Amino acid sequence: MIRKVALLGAVLLLGASIAGATTLVKMEFSELARDANYIVVGTVTGVEGEWDPSLNFIRSNVTLSVERSFRGNAPDRLIVRTPGGWVGGEGQVAHGAATFEVGEKVLVFLTHWEDGANKVLGYVQGKSQVTWDGQGQPRLKGGAADGRLLDAVERELRHGPSHNIPLRPKS
With respect to residue 30, please indicate whether it lies within any of the assigned structural domains: yes
- Please check whether residue 19 lies inside any domain of the structure: no
Has residue 91 been placed in a domain? Answer: yes
* Higher per-residue pLDDT: 107 or 6: 107
Burial label, 19 (beta-carbon count in 10 A; 0-12, 13-18, 19+): exposed
Q: Please determine, for residue 169, whether its predicted confidence score (pLDDT) is greater than 90.
A: no
**Residue 117 forms part of a structural domain:** yes
Does residue 134 lie within any of the structural domains?
yes
Structural domain boundaries, residue 143: 24-163
Q: Count Cβ atoms within 10 A of the Cβ of residue 111 and give its class: 0-12 exposed, 13-18 middle, 19 or more buried.
A: middle
pTM: 0.80
Cα of first residue to Cα of last residue in the chain, in angstroms, is 65
Establish if 170 belongs to a structural domain: no
Helix (H, G, I), strand (E, B) or coil at 59: strand
Residue 28: its pLDDT value, please? 92
Q: HEC string of 71-82?
A: ECCCCCEEEEEE
Q: Domain with 72 in it: what CATH number?
A: 2.40.50.120
Predicted confidence (pLDDT) per residue in 123-138, tens digit: 999 999 999 999 999 9
Distance CA 35, CA 111 (A): 8
* Residue 34 maps to a domain: yes
Q: Using CA atoms, how far apart are residues 81 and 117, in angstroms rounded to an integer? A: 7
The residue that leads in pLDDT, 156 or 102, is 102
For residue 39, the SS3 value is: strand
Q: How do residues 35-80 score in pLDDT, each as one tens digit?
A: 999 999 999 999 999 999 999 999 999 999 999 999 989 999 999 9
Q: What pLDDT score was predicted for residue 160?
A: 61
How much is the pLDDT for 127? 98
The tally of domains found in the chain comes to 1
Work out the pLDDT band at 22, boundaries 50, 70, 90: low
